[in-house]
Amino acid sequence: MENAPILPIRAELAVTDLIPFGYDKERSFFALTLARPQWAEWKPGQFIMLRPNSWNCELTWARPFSICRVTPQSLVLFFQVAGRGTKEIAKLKPKDTVTVWGPLGTHFAVENKPTLLLAGGIGIAPFAGYVEQHPVQNQLSMFFSHRLPEQYYPVESLTRHIEVETRYEQKQEDLTGTIQTIRQKMEETAKKNGLVLACGPMPFLKTVWKNALELNVSAQLSLEQRMACGIGACLGCVSVTSALYPDKEKAGLPVQTCTKGPVFWAHELNLDAQ
């Protein structure tokens, strides 16, 4: 995040594959593979904005998705159907084209120390690339809590490289267990002077955020906010910073999640202001 910014580009990309991971009456999950954009560089934690070229103007905005993985041939995203837009995206077929701009935003820190990855549900998406690109994979461990069976998520691609503890939350009580596990694992990481990286729904992130402040452990959170532009122009996606935010003029004020985030240091945020 301290380095020179990575320049985004806009590209029209062909869909090469769309693989369903699992259907549920509420949600379905897909891996979407696109032709690789001409990116010079990208870093895990960054995201893209995506809009199918077949859309007419009824749906006004593109949709933000974490970059899951980039190969020499392709850009891979992992998404769940959440509403109207993702429902349409799930209908894409090979050779359909989409407009993508990215890579956007900040990325997760890579440090040679014990690193705990905390993923909630679809928040697992950015960690696939993070783990694969990490130079010292044996420093990494993950805790993944999810509401649907494990095979709905791209867990296998992670267990190939690192140790993953998963919790399938089926009942309300399981949530309490998740919160306890997060606390306990963050305590261990704090003792080892390690790093915590978290991505998931807002209540999940708030839990991690509170623990990070209490335990004074280095932690980064990837935030999700409604986004219209993804490039800092609309001011729709802001998150409120804490007094510790390095840009003093913005400390305690709203900053764009799409350009100053989505990955923030926990202590630089004030999630209570949301």
Partner 1 sequence: MINMHTTLRAKNGSALELKTPVMSASGTFGYGTEFMPYGDISKLGAIIVKGLSLKPRAGNPLPRIAETPCGMLNAVGLQNDGVEAFISQKLPLLPASEVPIIANIYATSAEDFAELANVLSHEEKVSALEVNISCPNVKAGGVLFGQNPLMAGSIVQAVKKNAGSLPVIVKLSPNVTNIAEMAKAIEEAGADMISCINTITGMAVDIRSRKPLLANIVGGLSGPAVKPVALRCVWQVAQTVSIPVIGIGGIASAKDVLEFILVGASAVEIGTASFTDPAAIFKIIQDLPGLCEELGVKNLEQYRNSLITG
Ligand X SMILES: Cc1cc2nc3c(=O)[nH]c(=O)nc-3n(C[C@H](O)[C@H](O)[C@H](O)COP(=O)(O)OP(=O)(O)OC[C@H]3O[C@@H](n4cnc5c(N)ncnc54)[C@H](O)[C@@H]3O)c2cc1C
Which 3 state secondary structure label does DSSP give 227?
coil
Q: Which of 1, 6, 35, 59 lies at the binding interface for a copy of itself (CB under 8 A)?
A: 59
Q: Is 2 in the site for partner 1 (CB under 8 A)?
A: no
Looking at 51-59, 173-181, 185-193, 225-233, which segment touches a copy of itself (CB under 8 A)? 51-59
| CB-count exposure of residue 206 (10 Å: 0-12, 13-18, 19+) | middle
Interface residue with partner 1 among 25, 57, 72, 135 (CB under 8 A) is 57
Applying CB under 6 A, which of residues 39, 65, 108, 127 lies at the interface with ligand X?
65
Distances in whole angstroms, Cα of residue 174 to Cα of each of 15, 26, 143, 145, 169: 38, 19, 14, 9, 5
Please, which residue, 101 or 130, has the CB nearer to partner 1? 101
Residue 60 binds a copy of itself (CB under 8 A): no
Cα gap 245→194, rounded to integer Å: 21
253 binds ligand X (CB under 6 A): no
Site residues (CB under 8 A) for partner 1, limited to 64-103: 99, 101
**If binding is defined by CB under 6 A, does position 66 make contact with ligand X?**
yes
Is there binding between residue 129 and partner 1 (CB under 8 A)?
no
Q: Is 78 in the site for ligand X (CB under 6 A)?
A: yes
CB nearer to ligand FES: pick between 258 and 266: 258
**Between 87 and 226, whose beta carbon lies closer to ligand FES?**
226
Q: Which does 14 bind (CB under 5 to 8 A by kind): ligand FES, partner 1, a copy of itself, none?
A: none
Q: Binders of ligand X among 40-59, rule CB under 6 A?
A: 47
CA distance 239 to 256: 6
Residue 177, SS3? helix
Q: Does 62 bind partner 1 (CB under 8 A)?
A: yes
Query: What angle in degrees, to the nearest 10, is found between the helix axes of 172-191 and 202-215?
Result: 30
232 binds, among a copy of itself, ligand X, ligand FES, none (CB under 5 to 8 A by kind): ligand FES
Instruction: Collapse the DSSP code of 234 into the 3-class scheme (helix H, G, I; strand E, B; otherwise coil) and give the result.
Output: coil
Distance CA 206, CA 266 (A): 10
- The closest alpha carbon to 253, from 264, 263, 245, 265, belongs to 245
Contact track, partner 1, 231-270, x by CB under 8 A: xxxxxxxxx---------x---xx----x-----------
Q: Are 34 and 44 in contact (CB under 8 A)?
A: no
99: Cα separation from own chain's centroid: 20
* Cα separation values, 104 from 44, 150, 271, 272, Å: 11, 29, 22, 25
Residues near a copy of itself (CB under 8 A) are 56-59
Residues near ligand X (CB under 6 A) are 47, 61, 63-66, 78-80, 82-86, 122, 125, 224-227, 262
